[in-house]
Structures are given as structure tokens and as C-alpha cells.
Chains A and B, each alone.
Chain A
Amino acid sequence: MPFTKKLQKFNATIRTVEVGTGDKTTKLGGGNTLPFYTFDAPTANTAKIGIEISDLGLAHEPDCIKEVYAGCETVADMAKKAITIEGVDFLCLKLEGGDPNGENRPVEELVAVAKEVADAVDFPIVVEGCKNVEKDAELLSKVAEALQGKNVLLMSAKEENYKNIGAAAGLAYNQLVGAESAVDINLAKQLNVLLKQLGVDSGKVVMNVGSSAAGYGFDYLISTLDRVKAAALGQNDDSLLMPIITPVASETWSVKESTATEEDMPEWGSVVERAIDMEIETAVACLACGTDAVILKHPTSIATVSKMISALS
């Protein structure tokens, strides 16, 4: 008896969100199959990879990252270098220096860095805040204003500050809004509903449903990714049809597997390899569970994940 392939068809399609302008854009989402189920339908847009750089430059980075950006003097230089790396689809500028519990750099200074980077490269840009909800409310709103016309994705609006960021990015300056929730399908949905009620076009929202490194509560994250995708496609749930972006590097590069020195942990082997492995493993698992874009840091990780995406899409 011949084998008849049974296709799993969904009535829903994840919205496509285009980051950037002109011919240098990248498309997130757009799929109507489970991740990499190319046998059900051809892949609309392949999963995307962003490269993360920080406003703090290289001072806090491990040596293996410093090597990548050798010779770069400014953050703009790093940006120029970053976008040349093979497999990179967008640039992610993380303004972590704004954290009031860290460097506490003033908003104007950070906006200037963002402006400098945006002017230096003609490439899709994602801007991440400093994770402090009050500071981000102001910071990301100002960045949205400063980068008008660049169609950047601002991450992230959370339940506590979605009004400021959503209003600035989504309404006033016509940018894209990242909606960040804490590893719970209902909370993700609730934030999307709130943004919609604020007037933000759901077609301009990308979700970050949480992030973690493999082994660090990761099962919660991937089951959330899984459920969000299943609910979006299976139930055509309008408030979950946004593409998902998952910051990976910011999680994996700080766990002990990536930081413990070889002197302390000789049996674990090379610290560089470990850090890259953590980044790859985390990213791949997220992609397999429904993430439409991951943010990474090391060229080797980017090359490996990129190879996997093209092999499976």
C-alpha cells in the first residue's frame, strides 16, 4: 500500500513583522507550521539570528568576544564589524549601561550611542533596554524618538511599562514593540491584549515570552514556547499570532558553565567551547520549540545555528 502523507494544516498564520527599512530588512514570523515542519508547508521566512553588542563596549566581555571585535574603538565600530559576520540577520544593541544598579548611564548618553550605531550601519536593528522597568520606560521611549524612520524593534515593553514604551514605539514614532512576559502563556496573551487596547497595531508586536539558559528552568521556557505556538496556530488565537524573539546570549554567557575558569573546573574542558556550546544548545532548543528569532553573541554559535536553520528549513 502506498504511503499517503497526511498534512497538518492550520487555519492560522503567524504575522510577519519586518524589521528595518529599504532593502536591508529582515522578516520575522509568517509561518503556518510547527517549527521546521517543512513537510507540512514550505517555510515562509526562515528563523532569524541577531548579534548582540552592548553600549558598554568590550570591557565586560570575555576574551573570545574581545578577539572578534579586535581593533574596534567605539560601539559603532563594533556594530559595523558585527553585521559582517556570516549568518547575522539583524543587529541587537543592548543598552545595559542604563541599569540604575550598574553603570547608571544617563538616558541622553545611551540615546546618543543608539543614534551613533543606527547612523553607522544600514541594517535591521533591535534595541534592548537595561531591564529596569522605570529606566526602560524613559530610555526606550527616547530611543524610539531618536531612531525615527529606522523601523527598529524596541525590547521590551513589560506589564509595568508597556504604556510608555507601547505609546512611544508603537503609536508616536512608528517603531516595533517587543512585548516581554514572564514564561506564562496567559501573561503573554494578557500583555498583547493590553498593547492592543492601547492602540498598538498587533502587526507591529513581537513577543519575548521569557528567556533562560538550558538547565536553568529551561523546561518552563520551552513548554511555554511550545504552548504559545500551538495555541496561536491551533486555535487561531489572534492575541498570540505575533512572532517570538528570544534573547539567548544574555542568559547563557553568565551561567557557571560559561564562566567557570579552566583552573577551577579542569574536568569541564575549554571555557570558550563551553560558552559557545551553551549558546548553541539553548538557541537550537528555543528554535525547535517555536522561537522565530534568537539573539546570539559568538560568531561560531551564529555560524552553527545558521547552518542548522538552513538545513532544516
Chain B
Amino acid sequence: MYKVTFKFESGEGITAFAASGENLLEVARKTNVAIDAPCSGNAACGKCRVKLLSGELNSQKTRHITDEEYAAGWRLACVSKVEADVEVMVPDIASAYKGRMKAADLSSPAEVKIFTEAKEQLEAAGISLKNSLELIRVSMEAPTLDDTMPDVERIERAVAAATGVSRVRIPYSVLKSLPDKLREADFKVQCIIRRTAKNIFVYDLFPMDVKVRAGGLVVDIGTTTVSALIIDMLNGDILAKATTGNGQIRYGADVINRIIESRKEGGQKKLQDAVINETINPLIHTMCRTCGMKPAWIYRMCVGANTTMNHLLVGVNAEPLRTEPYIPAFFKTNAVFANDLGIDINQDAHIIIAPNIGSYVGGDITAGTLVSMIWNRPEYSVFIDLGTNGEIVFGNSDFLMSCACSAGPAFEGGDISCGMRATDGAIEACSIDAKTMEPTFSVIGDEGEKPVGLCGSGIIDVISELFRCGIISPKGKFVREGERIRHDKYGMGSYVLAFKEQAGSVKDVEITEVDIDNFIRAKGAIFSAIQTLLTSLDFDVSMVDDVYVAGGIGSGINMKNAVGIGMLPDIPLEKFHYIGNSSLSGAYAMLLSGEAERKVYELAQSMTYLELSTTPGYMDEFVAACFIPHTDSSLFPSVNQEF
């Protein structure tokens, strides 16, 4: 056994023991040291860099590490074997996936806009924003020697009288402290209840003089990013919002790798822990602190997530999703409560999960479809959720069709050498001068923030601009030469956006031909899915009235550039609408409104799912779309190269 020490940039360290020949990335995983490995340790992405401080590692050289970097001690953890005592430094960049947990500033109108809009649109469509949680006040007579009714029966009667519903359920959590609470409050209490047609469920009791808050939790679990809200269930106000990386990332960047990982021994538990204990619970605590809430005051939760994430969240075997005939364990479930999963909110809180409609079209899409409102209009609309999986819904008030394609993590910065999520330091927008080939870009963060990498919207801009300026060919290969264009010894070209002197990192911020290739495949997957879905109905893009784009790809993607690279159909730009994280706003609507929740179940049932992998012609469309803007340039009449 050898001693392996992982040092962090903060100065802390963790020591573990490893057998001779053991893979360093595996050791890190076992020790719970977070090293980003989107390719699951296949030496494909080059993200799992560590720096050798002392001792020895048996590392293969790969094209991700230059000779100078190798000499300086940089190694890829996934191709390094432990063969002696060793000390390695895990750079902050490698653990960047965890992100700094970001609590949103709710005073900014942009943050709450999509939620207010969703509410307004639903109300305009005749959906009442009422949910089943209520705050009622009941006053009882204190017991005496003549009035000997026990506490439970006493409050049951009082609640029944106040609500007109005869069956009242008092859970154990309330029973446990009932005598104390009633006597402290002199038998005059406020109750948080849930009303259904048949019964009343009492969640909690408070004295009359307390300001009671009935919280609700909304969580969007993306494969890469998790966002959450705490809301006031009684008036719909958003009390807190926060975002973080999905802790499951270290088990693989996409759903397939996660499922494979979950089938390993103890894997299901590890993945469930990663999303609940390392991701959702810390989010809850962060948000509760910002809005002065107690986790126990959150009485209901709604989840918008893809089918795999839903399975891994509730701890159900997801393997059948991955293998033919691709059957999920559930589309809809009403059977899950907070204490089943160990989510740090009121233990009796019901967890609503937006329903799945296929193995690869999940609740994030059904919830998103609700707030896209495409089901409420006669015009034909396309709703696209850009994420690790790209999902497309097409239809109108008469019909809805959906399909999913695997875009890979490129839109969220994965599989891209300088890719990152849309957090501080990410280049989110870019333009390039066609003559000088000099870039101008904006970076997320405070004024003067230095660029570290590129997020999805930045990558779209860069590739579109490189193509417009004739710097890359339609295949994504460099065809012009200049100071910013380099070729490594394998001949692979790259474009430098920021040399390391100007960058906030140890290396240049650049985009390589491999990155462009990965992105072309991602955009090709999206466009070919749109094309295949429309063709299956004998439609073409000219018949589309509106396109709603959702996803956390950056605060706003430049639609002109998205069309310019051939990701979205070439229709007038005013037909495109960016609707933000619609999984989150859809789940918010479901939590807030019982009618909205039922509407989502109805939409899920009425949506037809097209399985692209079994659709003849999809592969053909895909190859045709893996070209900028498209092999059939007549589909993109407005796209021109300027140089």
C-alpha cells in the first residue's frame, strides 16, 4: 500500500492509501476528493489534471498535456497509476464543477421575471394559482375536569369545524409535540394544513402571535447543473434562489455513464447521496439562511428533472432506461415523501415529481412545456430545452410531439477544453473582427473579471464568428493563419481568445478543433432532431411560428449566432424566444398551483414520444447537420461567410 496525499489550493489536504498500480482517479473517488472527469476517466476530455508535488506517478502522456506542462508536473489523474507514495495538488479548476454555490440576487428583476411571466401566462390561460396548502386559525376551549377530550381529538374536531372536512389526519411529527404546543399557545393555534377533497392533513402548529411561513421547495435537477427555489406557498413569492453543480458529475458527465456507475456495487446509494446530501441539502441550507427560513417549514417540494435524474433521486434502478426496450420504472409517482429520501425539509412533505414521458424525455420537459404555453396556442411552436440532453417538443393546442437527442455536455461547457458552466470567469459572448481576427468578449462576473473559460453561449458565439470570418471551414477546421491561430505538434489547430497573461488562469483560453468538432456534433444533434421531428409530421421549418428556447446555457444565447452555426432553423429572429430555465419555472408553477400540476399530468399523457434512435433517416439528418451551417446550405439562406 502506498500513501496518496491530495492537496488543495486552499492548503488543506486528504491522505488515502492505495494499492500498487491503482488508478489515481479511482483513489480520488474513493476518498471523496472531487476531481472533474466528464469523460469518466477515458483520457478523452483532459479535465482531471493534477500536479505532482512529490513522489512518483506512472502516467501516460496524452495530447492534453504539453511537454512543458508535463515537465512542470501536470498529469491526468485518469491515466496515472500509483506506484509509490505520492503527493498531488488538485487544482481549483478541477473541482470547479462544484462551483461556488451561487445564491441569486432576487432584487434583480431579471431573476424573477420568468417566474412572474409564467404565473401571468398561466392565469391568463385560466389556470388558478391555488394550491392545497392553507393556513388556518383554530381556537379551542382548554380541557377541564368536565371537558376531558384528549388533545388529538380536540384539534381534529376544531380543524374539521373550521374546514368543513370531517376526516383530519394528525401525523406522528405533530402528535409528538402536540400537548406542549397546545398548552403553550393556550389552545389557540395557527395550523398549516393540506386540503384534499377527502381529508385534511395537519403539518404543523404555531401560536397565534407568530408570523407563519409555509415554504415550498422547487428543484430543477439537471445532469450538470442543479437550481432551486424556496417559495412562499401562500402567495407564490420567491424567497430564495440558488444554483450549484450536480454532485454526481464525478461519476460521469452524461446520463448513460451515471446509470453505468449506479449499477456498480453501492453505486445507487452513492449517486443518490451525491445529489441529495451533497447537492440538494446544501442548497436548501444556503437558501434558508438567505431568507431566514427553517428547513422544517418547507411543506411541499416539486422536482423537474430528466427521467434518469428522477430515478437516481428516488433511488430506483435506472438500468432498464439504458437497455432495450428502454423502460422507465415510472412516468408519474405520488409515493415519495421527504423522509423517504432524506431531504432536509419537513419530513412529512410530499415530493411531487414532474412526470416523465419517455426514457429520455423527462419531467423537466413536461414542466417546461407547461410554461412554454405552446399547448395553449393554435400556432405551431417548437420548444427546445438545451442541456446535456436536448429535448424538442413541437405542436400546438391540438397536438404535441416530443423527442430527445443526446447533445452531450458541450452546451454546459463539458467536453470542451476550456469549457465551463456559466459562472464567474466564463466568456458568455464574443465577436471577432473579420480582418484582424481579434476577439472582443464579455466575461461573467464583476467589472474587470478575467476570462477563465467559455460557457455554452460563448462557444456558440465564438464558433459562429470564426465561421463568419472565414477562419474555420464548414467542417470546423482552421483555414486561416495568424497570431491567434496555433497548431500543436499533432497538427490540431486552435484559436486563442485570451493569452495566459490576460487570462485569469494558468493557461491560455482557447478553442481547439476537437472542441469545435464536439460542439458541431452537439448542434448537429439538436438541428437534426428538430428536422426529423418536423419531417415525421410532414412539416418543414417554414411552417414554424415560434421557437421557445430554454436551458441554462447562459443568460441569453445570441439567436443570430445559433442560427449562424446551424443549430436552430433559419427563420426570422423575432420568432425566437428565450425562456430561461423552464424546468425550474415549470416545477415552480406545479408547486404553486394544483391546477397547473394536473395540467402537466394531462400534457404528459397527451404528448407523443418519437424515439429517434429507431427513426430511419435520423442518422442521415445528423451527418448532414454536422457541417456549418448545414450540408444543405439552402436550409440556411441567411448565413454567409464574410471573408
Contacts and interface: CB of A to CB of B under 8 A. Distances in A.
Contacts of B474: 190, 193-194, 197
B627 interface: yes
Contacts of A186: 620, 623-624, 626-627, 631
A187 B623 CA distance: 7
B543 interface: no
B352 to A, nearest CB: 44
A116 interface: no
A159 interface: yes
Interface residues of A, number: 11
Given A184-B623, A186-B620, A186-B623, A193 B479 contact: no
Interface string B624-643: 10110001110000000000
Contacts of A197: 473-474, 479
A189 interface: yes
Nearest to B479: A163
Interface of A: 159, 163, 184-187, 189-190, 193-194, 197
Contacts of B632: 189
A248 to B, nearest CB: 25
**7 tightest Cβ-Cβ pairs between the two chains A and B:** A186-B624, A186-B623, A186-B631, A189-B631, A190-B627, A190-B631, A194-B473
Contacts, number: 27
Interface in B439-495: 473-475, 479
B479 A159 contact: no
Interface of B: 473-475, 479, 620, 623-624, 626-627, 631-633
Given A184-B623, A194-B473, A194-B475, 18 more contacts: A159-B475, A163-B479, A185-B620, A186-B620, A186-B624, A186-B627, A187-B623, A189-B632, A190-B475, A190-B627, A190-B631, A193-B474, A193-B631, A193-B633, A194-B474, A197-B473, A197-B474, A197-B479
A186 B531 CA distance: 15
Nearest to B621: A186
A193 B627 CA distance: 10
B628 to A, nearest CB: 10
Nearest to A163: B479
Contacts of B475: 159, 190, 194
A185 B474 CA distance: 16
A184 B624 CA distance: 10
A289 to B, nearest CB: 18
A186 B528 CA distance: 13
Contacts of B620: 185-186
A187 B631 CA distance: 8
A116 to B, nearest CB: 33
B247 to A, nearest CB: 40
A206 to B, nearest CB: 20
19 contacts: A159-B475, A185-B620, A186-B620, A186-B623, A186-B624, A186-B627, A186-B631, A187-B623, A189-B631, A189-B632, A190-B474, A190-B475, A190-B631, A193-B474, A193-B627, A193-B631, A193-B633, A194-B474, A197-B473
A42 B194 CA distance: 83
A195 to B, nearest CB: 11
A165 to B, nearest CB: 15
A193 B624 CA distance: 12
A159 B620 CA distance: 18
Contacts of B631: 186, 189-190, 193
A184 B620 CA distance: 8
A193 B626 CA distance: 13
A219 B632 CA distance: 24
A32 B627 CA distance: 29
Nearest to B627: A190
Nearest to B619: A184
Contacts of A194: 473-475
B572 to A, nearest CB: 25
A11 to B, nearest CB: 15
Nearest to B623: A186
Contacts of B627: 186, 190, 193
